[in-house]
């Protein structure tokens, strides 16, 4: 169980592990500004489902020498007090002992975007053996029977990908996001979070009308790549927190 409190809308900000020397301070800043969980991207050389921002973030982390070990060492040291979720690709997730090492560092959940339902069993077995939830993705193209199969086997939460496309900031929240989240919500008791393209507090407020929460990634990583400090990212998370708090959409500041 990643989320224990069912009464509030969930805010899950993202950070690429190892992207800067002080990236772990982002974990603290996110936590202190109301994150319900934090997604940590474990950088991979070939991030098939990521747009330019997360690609650049991954490249930068790898160029700095980030590894699973170095990232988990910092995670372990920080004692997050919020659930931590790792997102990475199959090639890393299938390495022997991977899930056990995540669990050992206090990670609660795992997202593997290139392991769809049909290929996921070995990874899910390894994750569950280590006590991790394996969080599935659903997409606007997922057909109803498959949506049901994914929803009933989901753990932690269901990640509803708002667009047919890669991660990245967008001007508008895709009109398909709400209906997709609503369709999944009818199939599972687990929270359903909308991610991909949630770029502003307004988007987040709109998303949580149909969903139980949002994941915010590229919008934060863009600022970080442009030089924003962990404290500034924390302030941004606070604005997303404010906009998602009620689930009815409060007015947000002009710029974030």
Partner 1 sequence: MGVMSEPAERGRFGEFGGRFVPESLVPACQEVEAAFRDAWSDDGFRKDLDELLTVYAGRPTPVTPARRLSAELGLTLLLKREDLAHTGSHKINNVLGQALLARRMGKRRLLAETGAGQHGVAAATAAALLGLACVVFMGERDIERQAPNVRRMRMLGATLVPVGSGSRTLKDATNEAMRRWVADTAEAYYCIGSVMGPHPYPWMVREFQRVIGDEARAQVERVPDVVVACVGGGSNAAGTFAGFADTGARLVGVEAAGGAAMTNGSPGVLHGHRSMVLQDAHGQVVEASSVAAGLDYPGIGPEHAHLAAIGRAEYASAGDGEVIEAVHRLARTEGIIPALESAHALAWIVRNAGDLAGLTVLMTLSGRGDKDMEIFQ
So which residues are the catalytic ones?
39, 50
Among 16, 33, 53, 90, binds partner 1 (CB under 8 A): 90
Residue 14 engages partner 1 in binding (rule: CB under 8 A): no
Residue 22 engages partner 1 in binding (rule: CB under 8 A): no
Among 117, 182, 231, 235, binds partner 1 (CB under 8 A): 117
CB of 147 to partner 1, least distance (A): 10
CA 76 → CA 67, 81, 103, 154, 237, distances in Å? 14, 11, 10, 26, 22
Q: Is 7 exposed, middle or buried, given 0-12, 13-18 or 19+ CB atoms closer than 10 A? A: exposed
First to last CA, the chain: 32
Distance CA 209, CA 221 (A): 25
Residues 30-69: x/- map of binding to partner 1 (CB under 8 A)?
A: --------------xxxxxxxx---x---x--x----xx-
Distance CA 249, CA 251 (A): 7
Closest CA to 43 of 77, 20, 27: 20
Residue 101 engages partner 1 in binding (rule: CB under 8 A): no
Residue 78 engages partner 1 in binding (rule: CB under 8 A): no
Residues 125-154: x/- map of binding to partner 1 (CB under 8 A)?
A: -----------xxxxxxxx--x---x----
């Amino acid at each position: 169980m990643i989320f224990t409190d069912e009464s509030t809308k969930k805010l899950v900000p993202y950070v690429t592990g190892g992207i800067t020397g002080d990236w772990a301070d982002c974990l603290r800043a996110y936590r202190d500004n109301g994150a319900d969980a934090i997604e940590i991207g474990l950088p991979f050389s070939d991030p098939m489902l990521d747009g330019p921002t997360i690609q650049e973030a991954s490249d930068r982390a790898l160029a700095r020498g980030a590894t699973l070990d170095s990232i988990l060492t910092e995670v372990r040291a920080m004692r997050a007090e919020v659930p931590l979720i790792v997102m990475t690709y199959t090639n890393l997730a299938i390495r022997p002992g991977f899930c056990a090492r995540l669990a050992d560092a206090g990670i609660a959940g795992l997202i593997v975007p290139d392991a769809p339902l049909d290929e996921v069993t070995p990874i899910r077995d390894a994750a569950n053996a280590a006590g991790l939830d394996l969080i599935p993705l659903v997409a606007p193209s997922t057909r109803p029977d498959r949506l049901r199969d994914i929803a009933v086997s989901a753990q932690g939460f269901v990640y509803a990908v708002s667009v047919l496309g890669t991660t990245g900031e967008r001007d508008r929240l895709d009109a398909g996001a709400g209906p997709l989240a609503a369709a999944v919500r009818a199939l599972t008791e687990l929270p359903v979070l909308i991610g991909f393209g949630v770029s502003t507090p307004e988007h987040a407020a709109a998303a949580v009308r149909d969903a139980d929460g949002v994941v915010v990634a590229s919008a934060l990583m863009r600022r970080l790549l442009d030089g924003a400090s962990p404290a500034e990212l924390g302030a941004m998370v606070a604005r997303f927190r404010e906009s998602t708090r009620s689930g009815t959409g409060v007015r947000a500041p002009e710029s974030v």
